[in-house]
Structure 1
Amino acid sequence: MKRKWRKRILALLALPFAVVLLSNLIIEWGTSGKLYDDVTAVPYNKVGIVLGTARHRTEGGINPYYQNRIDATVDLFNAGKISFVLVSGDNGSIYYNEPDTIKKDLIEAGIPQERIFLDYAGFRTLDSMMRAKTVFGLDSATIISQEFHNERAIFIAGFKGLDAIGYNAEDLSGRQGLKVQTREVFARVKVFVDLLLNTQPKYLGEGVRIE
């Protein structure tokens, strides 16, 4: 009897690990062949979607994840791999506005203002992907973020009718990279919860044509 209960307890303890592992494997398998590191190899898409993040680190200084996404977006545009940029990020308060901040840095880096469109309600990756399809009317796009984030975004996009590929901004290693990668492991479980519950974006709104 004790052995039977021990097996049941071990099975219950193992279940969360199995769910996390399976969620991550499914997303990696589902996005295989859709990620690019070499700008010359990226297929053309009319629009590149750069996913927002904070410009500054809490401990001070520029957030390297942010800067690397800016650099990757500029590389794609200059290589003629995208014609427009859709900046999707959090605009949760008057003190925090990812889209406007990214737009200013993209313009400073040489991308014309009229080629940049802003999605102020990209509060989550799910919101960004769904709004790209339903609000901005995109059928295909190139997502610009770090590889781990691109994988999750592309997977969500596929379920929401958006044919997406990803251009990988440079990632980070060391302590900061490990911290973000650890959060990502559990964020991928949330992807499946959202899909099962058919979670909707916080805001939708009127359509916007990118042209």
Structure 2
Amino acid sequence: MKRTHRRKPMFYVIIIFLVITLGLVALDRLVATVGHRRIIEPFQAAEADAIIVPGAKINPDGSPTDMLKDRLDAAIALYASKRAPLILVSGDGRDSALNETASMAAYLKTAGIPAAAIVIDPEGYDTFQTVLRSKDAYAIRSSIIVTQTFHLERALFIANALDSDMMGVASDFRDYASMPLMRLREVAARVKALYECAVFGLSRS
């Protein structure tokens, strides 16, 4: 009588874990590859309708964090080199105490950017909304988005999916203590972005 070998449940758990992990890695690389094609150096940036700065959490005192400050400084440099006449700050403006867009606008004004050159989008609750609303709500036809590379790849992947004329400039001006955690969270954010782009595509088909 032949002896049958039944696989232990842990074997299937490991297989499922490996499949999910490989899937996440593949999706992460897809977003990185597509998005990275649109990343340029500041001197390569053609004149655009606007420079876009996506929001991020701010400090308890209302000032931008180092990560957000670097995005704003990159936008200021592009504006100074006349790459665009407007800077669109897009983020969560619902919280009066920790208003991302108000903080960004105040920083830009302190740096000498005229109020007339600052456009505020208080409903850029995530990167997908920031990219979508720049085109649909603010009629920006061409743009340069500035943020850190790990985030920039996702933003530009979304821009590609939405057929938006958007290029990106990285604002990696320092090492960020929170980067390992941010990079881990970015994997989940990229999966979410893929889902959002797919749903958007189906809704417009």
- Pairwise CA distance, 1:117: 0.6
Change (3 A) 1:174 1:129: closer
Secondary structure of the equivalent of 1:35? coil
- With the length of structure 2 as denominator, give the TM-score of the two structures: 0.86
Aligned to 1:41: 44
8 Å Cα contact 2:51/2:75 also seen in 1: yes
- Pairwise CA distance, 1:32: 3.0
1-structure distance, mates of 2:58, 2:195: 29
Aligned to 1:131: 133
Aligned to 1:163: 165
In the alignment, does 2:116 pair up with 1:114?
yes
- C-alpha offsets along residues 38-88 of structure 1, whole Å, 9 cap, x if unaligned? 322222212111011123279x98521011011101110011112111110
Aligned to 1:54: 57
Q: Percent identity?
A: 24
- C-alpha offsets along residues 75-116 of structure 1, whole Å, 9 cap, x if unaligned? 100111121111101012222211111111111112111011
Secondary structure of the equivalent of 1:195? helix
8 Å Cα contact 1:133/1:162 also seen in 2: yes
- Pairwise CA distance, 1:132: 0.9
8 Å Cα contact 1:46/1:141 also seen in 2: yes
- Pairwise CA distance, 1:138: 2.0
2-structure distance, mates of 1:94, 1:61: 13
Change (3 A) 1:174 1:91: closer
Give structure 1 stretches of 5+ with no counterpart: 200-211
Partner amino acid, structure 2, of 1:30: V
Secondary structure of the equivalent of 2:71? helix
- Pairwise CA distance, 1:163: 1.7
Structure 1 range deviating more: 6-15 or 150-159: 6-15
Partner amino acid, structure 2, of 1:150: L
Secondary structure of the equivalent of 1:72? helix
- C-alpha offsets along residues 128-173 of structure 1, whole Å, 9 cap, x if unaligned? 1111111111222111111111110111122123121111112543
Structure 1 range deviating more: 142-151 or 90-99: 90-99
Give structure 2 stretches of 5+ with no counterpart: none
Aligned residue pairs: how many? Answer: 197
8 Å Cα contact 1:133/1:160 also seen in 2: no
Change (3 A) 1:141 1:80: same
Aligned to 2:14: 10
Based on CA coordinates, which of the two structures has the bigger radius of gyration? 2
- Pairwise CA distance, 1:30: 0.7
Aligned to 2:81: 79
Change (3 A) 1:48 1:196: same
8 Å Cα contact 1:48/1:144 also seen in 2: yes
Change (3 A) 1:15 1:84: same
Secondary structure of the equivalent of 2:36? coil
